Amino acid sequence: MPYQYANSQLKIFSLNSNNPLAQEIAQEMGVELGKSSVKHFSDGEIQISIEESIRGCDVFIVQSTSAPVNEHLMELLIMVDAVKRASARTVNVVMPYYGYARQDRKAKAREPITAKLVANLLETAGATRVIVLDLHAPQIQGFFDILIDHLMAVPLLSDYFKSKGIPAEEIVIVSPDHGGVTRARKMAERLKAPIAIIDKRRPKPNVAEVMNIVGNVDGKVAILIDDIIDTAGTITIGADALRAAGAKEVYACCSHPVLSGPAIERIENSAIKELVVTNTIQLSEEKKSPKITELSVAKLMADAISRVYENKSVSTLFD
């Protein structure tokens, strides 16, 4: 049953990155999206107008910083500033997808830590809280000096695979690299399945080379899980390696379907039977495929917003 906040001080606004998801969240909450507009000056500068009073309100701004990343990030920062200056009581940023999260450390000399820079920008603009889903690196939470709630898509993805009725003893959950082992283990616990790891080396950005599979996948239904699928090189090479190692079927899933460049072609030509994604990033028509199944995170996001607004614990949504 949807929440009912129609006459409350809760306001939800959407920008341009993922309006369908924002509409779903508002519907779950029993409210209309706030009235605002995003326009551009002739030189491309962004102009945002809030077209209703939000004085004293708890405002939630829904915006993924997906492609075009810089445009959507600037929209978000300008909206946060506008909401703060309109005397909102709190300014809550709901970022289903947190762009720039992959630059979370200095991997080599003279590199920026852009994930920290984005956190600084949001705080400086006036955000009082951030709600995110599946950060690329959980330690990014420590980049913020404001409140942050880090939600996970593993329960949603796990429930989908449970509904397929595959016997638990036939399943193996596979991490495409060492960094994703914790995520794979969480799904494995929910599905009561073992895990395997693909040991890979990346000779250059967006190019992955499979080296070895750690764990038994022979005769199993392998489920690859990752947080982001970008050009799909890692996930498709991994799927082909799993089939070569004896897996009878290969599924894949992720929280954030970036799907850049050759991703769709690679997925369609790969050993992946089905790719399950969430709608943290809006898929354009050219990024849709019969192999791709999309699950909605609207209920999860609505639950988080409701708990924040009512000053209730959000921790039960973290697992």
- For 132-143, the DSSP string reads EES-SSGGGGGG
Q: Are strands 147-151 and 171-175 parallel, antiparallel or unpaired?
A: unpaired
The whole-angstrom separation of Cα 120 and Cα 138 is: 17
Q: Which helix (H) or strand (E) holds 46?
A: strand 46-50
The count of residues in the chain is 319
DSSP letter, residue 37: E
How far CA 273 is from CA of 12, 197, 238, 267, in Å, comes to 37, 19, 13, 9
Binding-site residue ranges for ATP: 43-45, 102-103
299: annotated active-site residue: no
Q: Which helix (H) or strand (E) holds 253?
A: strand 249-257
The whole-angstrom separation of Cα 30 and Cα 45 is: 34
Catalytic residue among 200, 287, 288, 291: 200
The whole-angstrom separation of Cα 151 and Cα 36 is: 27
Binding-site residue ranges for Mg(2+): 136, 177
Binding-site residue ranges for D-ribose 5-phosphate: 202, 226, 230-234
Residues 6 or more apart whose CB falls under 8 angstroms from that of 182 comprise none
Dihedral, CA atoms, 240, 244, 248, 251, nearest 10 degrees?
-20
Please give the positions annotated as active site.
200
